[in-house]
């Protein structure tokens, strides 16, 4: 029996993890003819199957007003409580409208009951679930206790109530084992581990004409080696390690390219990385202003590429992150058959490394062995090809759509059986 499934979040648009993974869930659900509908404050989904409620976006002025008064403060004023409740009541009404408009039978809440970037929406969802007792799957990507910015606050009552709530109709899904254990410890809530996935059953074809000139647009020659770090320019991404590697490679062909901009976290770190690269004699290129969530021509007449345009042209991927909730860039590198060097961040160590991928790993710093591995991956075609083919097959085994399909069937069967 097919279900009408409503996805809910603050935003379904762009290339953030929540938007990408929710689209994969919908694609796999469609294999069993389950139809997906979308509710968020910003949407790039089809209008006929979506409901856009601007107030549900975490960047809406009303919610920003609330955030400015709850995070980093110990005392909550009475008008802040009132505004949270008022906005929550309004949003709850839109949730009722969404479910009624599309005759939704199951809800999938994407991170909106996990990280409290939109407190009123979390409260609205929690009350809605208590009032309707609808079957719900909550997909948790990153909890508030994993982010230092949420540690000082004046809303412990709301956090305990709604992030996430303890609801008998609610099945909880996490993306790594550590999150599963922390959720049980902090909330007494059991959960199912469903890792992020990629469609390994459909290998990438040859690059099309649109992205064929991307190396030229970066200013690279055919002889240059493109070392790609597919991350934002923020401290936890460890860009200084990539700079260190390129410096120690001591090869003028090697160019380090960062695919994304800093976002909303300021310019201090990007400026420091630019200065560090210059002093180290490393050719560092920020390409974030030319990478977007869709291909188009910008106002200056320049092509805007998507991240997947970059991988086929990369010679090596660097992933020196200190922390990741999962690590989508890993799966992307495996999928596009590009060798990758990884820092042993906690989720890699515990969840991914034991699977048997062939990946050179660093333990918080660049050593001689990593430099030697990088040289070999850049110059030994046979070694490189054997490694990337192995990793592709391992990715297909553990992180392909069939694995997600099985997990979703379990979740839906639990609902069907009243668990």
263: left (phi over 0), alpha (psi -120 to 50) or beta: left
Question: Do 173 and 224 share a structural domain?
Answer: no
Q: Does residue 62 lie in a domain region?
A: yes
Average pLDDT over residues 224-244: 95
Q: Does residue 411 lie in a domain region?
A: yes
Question: Do 228 and 187 share a structural domain?
Answer: no
Does the structure show a pLDDT above 70 at 205?
A: yes
Q: Does residue 205 lie in a domain region?
A: no
Question: Do 227 and 92 share a structural domain?
Answer: no
pLDDT, residue 168, reads 85
Question: Do 168 and 228 share a structural domain?
Answer: no
Q: Does residue 332 lie in a domain region?
A: yes
Question: Do 410 and 366 share a structural domain?
Answer: no
Specify the CATH number for the domain of residue 94. Answer: 3.40.50.2000
pLDDT per residue as tens digits for the range 288-308? 999 988 899 999 999 999 999
Task: Please give the span between the terminal C-alpha atoms of the chain, in angstroms, as a whole number.
Answer: 18
Question: Do 150 and 78 share a structural domain?
Answer: yes
Domain extent at residue 9: 4-197+401-416
Comparing CA positions, the residue from 185, 172, 166 lying closest to residue 141 is 172
Kindly give the pairing relationship between strand 11-12 and strand 225-229: unpaired
Question: Do 411 and 352 share a structural domain?
Answer: no
* Residue 41 near residue 87, CB atoms below 8 Å: no
If you search the block for the tokens 């601007």, which residue do you land on? Answer: 54
* Confidence bin at 418 (pLDDT 50/70/90): confident
* Residue 105 near residue 3, CB atoms below 8 Å: yes
Question: Do 159 and 94 share a structural domain?
Answer: yes
For 331, counting Cβ atoms within 10 Å of its Cβ (0-12 exposed, 13-18 middle, 19+ buried), the class is buried
381-399 helix and 368-379 helix, angle to the nearest 10 degrees:
100
Q: How are the residues of the chain apportioned to helix, strand and coil, as percentages rounded to the nearest 5? A: 45, 15, 35
Question: Do 193 and 326 share a structural domain?
Answer: no
* Contacting residues for 77 by C-beta, under 8 A, at least 6 apart: 69
The token pair at 293 is: 């969530």
The token pair at 53 is: 């409620």
Question: Do 168 and 314 share a structural domain?
Answer: no
Question: Do 226 and 136 share a structural domain?
Answer: no
* Confidence bin at 263 (pLDDT 50/70/90): low
The token pair at 113 is: 């009951």
Q: Does residue 202 lie in a domain region?
A: no
**In which element (H, E) is residue 369 found?**
helix 368-379
CA 301 to chain centre: 30
* Residue 120 near residue 84, CB atoms below 8 Å: yes
* Residue 24 near residue 404, CB atoms below 8 Å: yes
**In which element (H, E) is residue 106 found?**
strand 106-110
Q: Does residue 209 lie in a domain region?
A: no
Write down the pTM of the prediction. Answer: 0.91
pLDDT per residue as tens digits for the range 67-114? 999 999 999 999 999 999 999 999 999 999 999 999 999 999 999 999
Does the structure show a pLDDT above 70 at 266?
A: no
Q: Does residue 218 lie in a domain region?
A: yes
Question: Do 355 and 314 share a structural domain?
Answer: yes
Alpha-carbon distances of 65 from 55, 80, 358, rounded to whole Å: 12, 9, 48
Cα distance between residue 395 and residue 389, in whole Å = 10
Cα distance between residue 328 and residue 309, in whole Å = 16
Q: How many domains does one find in the chain?
A: 2
Does the structure show a pLDDT above 90 at 144?
A: yes
Q: Does residue 253 lie in a domain region?
A: yes
């Amino acid at each position: 029996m097919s279900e009408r499934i409503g996805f809910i979040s603050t935003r379904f648009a762009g290339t953030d993890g929540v938007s990408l993974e929710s689209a994969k869930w919908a694609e796999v659900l469609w294999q069993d003819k389950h139809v997906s509908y979308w509710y968020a404050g910003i949407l790039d989904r089809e209008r006929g199957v979506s409901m856009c409620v601007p107030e549900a976006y975490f960047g809406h002025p009303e919610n920003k007003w609330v955030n400015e008064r709850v995070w980093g403060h110990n005392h909550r004023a009475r008008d802040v409580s009132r505004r949270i409740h008022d906005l929550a009541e309004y949003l709850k009404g839109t949730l009722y409208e969404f479910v009624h408009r599309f005759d939704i039978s199951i809800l999938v809440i994407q991170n909106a009951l996990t990280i409290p970037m939109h407190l009123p929406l979390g409260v609205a969802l929690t009350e809605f679930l208590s009032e309707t007792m609808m079957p719900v799957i909550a997909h948790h990507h990153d909890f508030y206790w994993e982010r230092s910015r949420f540690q000082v606050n004046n809303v412990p009552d709301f956090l305990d109530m709604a992030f996430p709530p303890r609801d008998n109709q609610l099945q909880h899904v996490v993306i790594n084992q550590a999150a599963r254990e922390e959720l049980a410890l902090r909330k007494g809530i059991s959960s199912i581990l469903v890792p992020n996935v990629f469609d390994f059953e459909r290998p990438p074809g040859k690059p099309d004409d649109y992205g064929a000139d991307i190396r030229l647009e970066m200013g690279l020659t055919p002889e240059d080696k493109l070392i790609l770090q597919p991350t934002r320019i923020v401290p936890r991404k460890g860009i200084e390690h990539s700079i260190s590697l390129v410096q120690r490679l001591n090869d003028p062909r090697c160019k380090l390219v960062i695919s994304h901009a800093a976002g909303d976290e300021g310019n201090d770190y990007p400026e420091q990385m630019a200065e560090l690269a210059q002093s180290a004699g490393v050719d560092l290129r920020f390409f974030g202003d030319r990478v977007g969530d869709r291909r188009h021509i910008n106002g200056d007449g320049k092509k805007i590429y998507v991240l997947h345009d970059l991988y086929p042209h990369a010679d090596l991927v660097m992933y020196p992150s200190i922390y990741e909730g999962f690590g989508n860039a890993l799966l992307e590198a495996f999928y596009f058959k590009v060798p990758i060097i990884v820092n042993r961040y906690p989720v890699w160590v515990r969840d991914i490394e034991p699977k048997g991928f062939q990946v050179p790993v660093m333990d918080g710093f660049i050593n001689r062995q990593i430099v030697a591995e990088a040289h070999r991956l850049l110059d030994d075609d046979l070694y490189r090809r054997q490694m990337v083919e192995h990793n592709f097959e391992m990715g297909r085994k553990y992180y392909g759509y069939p694995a997600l399909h099985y997990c979703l069937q379990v979740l839906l069967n639990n609902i069907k059986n009243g668990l």
